């Protein structure tokens, strides 16, 4: 049994399951498994024994054998274990720390994401809070170039506010949309942020966009739609008032955001494309 695991696709199409809580609510101590969709079977992987807190943010790198752990997680587990960002080599279960992360104790409920294009192998991490139900959070925004020989986190422009639960969406113009979140744990103290910002990975600049009208904290998400707009939904506040006397209710309203490129003239149109492409190939 696993509650709050991370699932990550492997090069051969199998799926690695990492971390989570067992049926008694205890953090799994590093027992990882692989699912084979061909045979529909799970197999223990004692040779890939490695501990992470729940729901670690994992990114498969271009070589297919290594996985980057950004440090982001949902927090369950000891505050002094499994929190160090690094690169995990599945070929021999080895590990290399990635240094330089600012506010490293504020990784719970932070957002991390590949910057576009993914071929550049850069990952950003923004926001996050202390382990547990702390109402402290950070505006920290760091980026690491994983294609370098000695990757390390470097500062990017700070987010406009400290925040947990930010949702990140890669847009078709290669910018990253950052939206929602709250300053406190699950929006405590009515701390939901009505804040949306755009990060340009080429110029390394961050600027605010139209704010979200509905507050989004725990159990919220944002999804790029086929027409280029972004849908935001969900949110699970612990309380409904700043005094914490009324229980919160799950947010059921949906918002749709229209990025600036929708108003920049005629939309591009795909008039011809090959019926089939292969990994690593190119096409006009």
Cα–Cα distance, 6 to 85 (Å, whole number): 15
pLDDT, residue 153, reads 98
Q: Which residues, in sequence order, are CB contacts of 131 under 8 Å at separation 6+?
A: 75, 79, 105, 108
Q: 73-99 as b/e, with b when 16 or more CB fall inside 10 Å?
A: bbbbbeeeebbebbbbebeeeeeeebe
Average pLDDT over residues 257-282: 90
DSSP letter for 47, please: G
Q: Give the confidence band of 267 by pLDDT, cuts at 50, 70, 90.
A: confident
> Among 48-57, 65-74, 157-166, 275-284, which stretch is predicted with the lowest mean pLDDT?
275-284
Q: What is the mean pLDDT of residues 5-28?
A: 96
- Is the confidence at residue 77, as pLDDT, over 90? no
Radius of gyration of the chain (CA): 20
User: Degrees (nearest 5) of the Cα angle 134, 135, 141?
Assistant: 100
Least Cα distance to 138 among 151, 121, 150, 126 occurs for 126
What is the rounded distance in angstroms from the CA atom of residue 249 to the CA atom of residue 15?
34
Per-residue pLDDT at 207 exceeds 90: yes
SS3 state of residue 118: helix
Residue 19: CB atoms within 10 Å:
28
The predicted model scores a pTM of 0.93
Helix intervals (H) in 68-136: none
């Amino acid at each position: 049994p696993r509650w709050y695991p991370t699932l990550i696709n492997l090069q051969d199409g199998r799926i690695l399951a990492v971390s989570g809580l067992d049926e008694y609510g205890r953090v799994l101590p590093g027992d990882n498994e692989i699912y084979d969709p061909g045979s529909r079977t799970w197999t223990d992987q004692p040779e890939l024994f490695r501990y992470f807190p729940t729901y670690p943010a994992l990114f498969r790198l271009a070589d297919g054998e290594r996985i980057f752990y950004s440090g982001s997680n949902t927090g369950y587990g000891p505050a002094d274990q499994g929190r160090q960002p690094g690169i995990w080599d599945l070929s021999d279960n080895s590990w290399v720390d990635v240094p330089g992360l600012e506010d490293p104790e504020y990784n719970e409920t932070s957002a991390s994401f590949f910057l576009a294009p993914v071929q550049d192998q850069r990952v950003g991490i923004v926001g996050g809070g202390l382990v547990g139900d702390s109402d402290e959070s950070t505006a920290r925004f760091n980026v690491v170039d994983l294609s370098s020989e000695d990757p390390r986190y470097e500062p990017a422009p700070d987010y406009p506010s400290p925040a947990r639960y930010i949702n990140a969406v890669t847009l078709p113009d290669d910018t990253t949309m950052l939206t929602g979140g709250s300053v406190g744990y699950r929006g405590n103290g009515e701390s939901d942020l009505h804040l949306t910002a755009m990060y340009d990975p080429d110029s390394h600049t961050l600027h605010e966009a139209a704010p979200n009208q509905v507050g989004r904290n725990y159990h919220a998400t944002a999804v790029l739609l086929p027409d280029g707009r972004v849908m935001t939904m969900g949110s699970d506040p612990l309380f409904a008032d700043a005094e914490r006397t009324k229980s919160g209710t799950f947010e059921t309203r949906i918002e749709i955001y229209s990025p600036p490129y929708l108003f920049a003239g005629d939309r591009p149109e795909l008039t011809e494309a090959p019926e089939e492409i292969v990994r690593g190939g190119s096409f006009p």
